[in-house]
Structure 1
Amino acid sequence: MTKFTKIEVSSRAKAGKGAARATRRAGHVPGVIYGAKQEPVLIALDPRIVHRELHKAGWRSRIYDISVDGGASVHALLREIQLHPVTDAPIHVDYQRLAAGHKVHVEVEIRFEGEEVAPGVKRGGVMNIVRHTVEVVVDPANIPEYFTADLSGLDFHDNVRWEDLKGTENVTPVLHGTNFVIANVAPPSVDEEATEEAATTEAEG
C-alpha cells in the first residue's frame, strides 16, 4: 500500500519574482504544483516543512498528500528545491501532480543490510557501494519507498546486482539492457595481504 506524507500549504494569487519575494518576506517558501494536464497551482509553504523533508532519507520517491487551504488534497512528488547560494535556505519548491495510469520517473533509495557479516568484509575486503539510488519508471500507485540490498553473502569479487534487490516489483529501471551492479566486495590490496602474511609468519615463529 502506498504511503503518503501529509502536508498543509496555502495558496498564493500571483506569480512572478516580485510575488515570490513578498512570500519569502512573509516567512514562507513559494512553490508550485504542476502536471497531470491541469493548471499549475501557486502555493506557499512553511520553511520548516521543507527542511524536515530534506533531512529524511528517500524524499525523491516520497508521495505527498498536499492540502491547499484546507481543501481537497493533491498527490504529488517533490521534484525540485531551489536553495539560497549563501544560506542554503529553501527559496522555491516544485511539486509534480500525479495521475493514476501516468507513469513517472523517480529516484528510489537503496537500503543495505548485512555488510558486517559479509565473508569478504570479515576477511579484510572492502565493500564498494556503486549505487545508493536507482532511477525507475513506475505507476504512481506502485512507487516504492526504498529497495533493499542483502550484502550478507558477499565474498571477494562477489556483487549485488539490480535483479538481486528486493522491492523492485512493478518498476522498470531507466538503465535498460544490463543487470547493473549495485555493490561488490574487493579483496585487500597486495601490500595489505603481504603485511598480514608477515604478521602471521612472525607470530608462528
Structure 2
Amino acid sequence: MLIKITRSTLSKSLNLQLRCFSQAAAAILPDDPSAPLTYLDGLPRPDPRYDETILAIPRASPGTRVSVKERKAGRVPSIVFEQEDGQHGGNKRLISVQTNQIRKLVGHLGRSFFVSRLFDLEVRSEFGSGDLIEKVRVLPRKVHLHSGTDAPLNVTFLRAPPEALLKIDVPLVFRGDDVSPGLRKGGYLNTIKRTVKFLCPADIVPPYIDVDLSELDVEQKILAGDLKVHPALKLLRSKDEPVCKIAGGRVSDQKKSK
C-alpha cells in the first residue's frame, strides 16, 4: 500500500513508531523534516548494476483480448496505481511494458527481489519516442509469471514519490552458515520466513535484509525483532515471530552407528 503523506507528518509518525526502538536509533532520523532519509553504512543498499529505467507506453483499454494482443506483440499489460486500492480513485494508468526487459530484470534479481526494489518508469507515446507522458519512481507490487515458461504475464506498479510509505515484503538473505556452531555440530537450518513485511519510507527501501547465522547454535532461533534494519523501518509483524531456527540433526551419528 502506498500512503501519501507530508515529510513533517512522516517525521512525527516515525518518532511515535520508534518508541519501540532505542533512543540511539531514533537519533539517526534527520533533524530537518525536509531532509531525505539515507541508507546507513553497514546495511544493504540497492545494487547500482540494476538501476534501470523501465520503459512503457499507454494501453488504451483493459480486458482479456487486449492483453492477449499485447503479449503477442512482445509487451506485458501492466497498470500503475497511486495506491494499492487504486480501483477507488487511485490515479490509475493502463500501460504496457516490454516483455524482454521485465523478463531480464526478474531473471537477474529473482522474483521476490524484483518486487521489493524501486525503479524509474518512463511512459512515452511509443517505444523510442521523444514524447514523454510521465516519468515516475515506482515499486513493482506484483508480477504474474507463466507457470511453464516464467514469461511475465502482467505487472502491477505503485507510484513511490519520496514522501511515500510502502508496505514491502523484504527478502531475507541468510549468511554465516559456514561458521554457525549449530550447523557445524550437524544441525540443519529450518527457514521459517523468506520475507518479512515492513513499512518503509520510499527513499530507503532495503533490497534485502541480512540474517546472521554465524553465532547460532542448535535449538537457537532468530526472531523478526532481531533483524538489523534502518530505524525508520517499521516492522508490520510481531517482533517475536521466528524467522529461522537451527534444529538438531534428524539422525544422530550414534543412531546411525547402531
CA RMSD of aligned residues (A): 2.4
Higher strand share: 1
Identity of aligned residues (%): 25
1:51 to 75, 83, 103: 103
Deviation at 1:93, TM superposition (A): 1.5
Aligned 1:35-184 pairs, distance under 5 A: 35-36=82-83, 39-55=91-107, 56-57=109-110, 58-69=113-124, 71=132, 72-84=134-146, 87-176=149-238, 178-184=239-245
Q: What stretches of structure 1 move > 6 A for 4+ residues in a row?
A: none
Deviation at 1:128, TM superposition (A): 1.4
Provide, for residues 29-82 of structure 1, a one-character-per-residue CA deviation record: whole Å limited to 9, x for no partner.
Answer: 111111156532221111112212222131121101101115242111112223
What is the distance in 1 between the residues matched to 2:147 and 2:248? 42
Gaps in structure 1 of 5+ consecutive residues:
200-205
Deviation at 1:87, TM superposition (A): 4.7
What is the distance in 1 between the residues matched to 2:183 and 2:149? 40
Give the equivalent residue in structure 1 for 2:11.
none
Larger radius of gyration: 1
What is the distance in 2 between the residues matched to 1:84 and 1:184? 33
1:187 corresponds to 2:234? no
Larger RCO: 1 or 2 (CA < 8 Å, sep 6+): 2
Gaps in structure 2 of 5+ consecutive residues:
1-37, 40-45, 84-88, 125-129
Give 1:179's aligned amino acid. D
Instruction: Give the TM-score taking structure 1 as reference length.
Output: 0.83
Please say if residues 147 and 167 of structure 1, whose CA atoms lie closer than 8 Å, have aligned partners that are also in contact: yes
Give the equivalent residue in structure 2 for 1:203.
none
1:26 corresponds to 2:73? yes
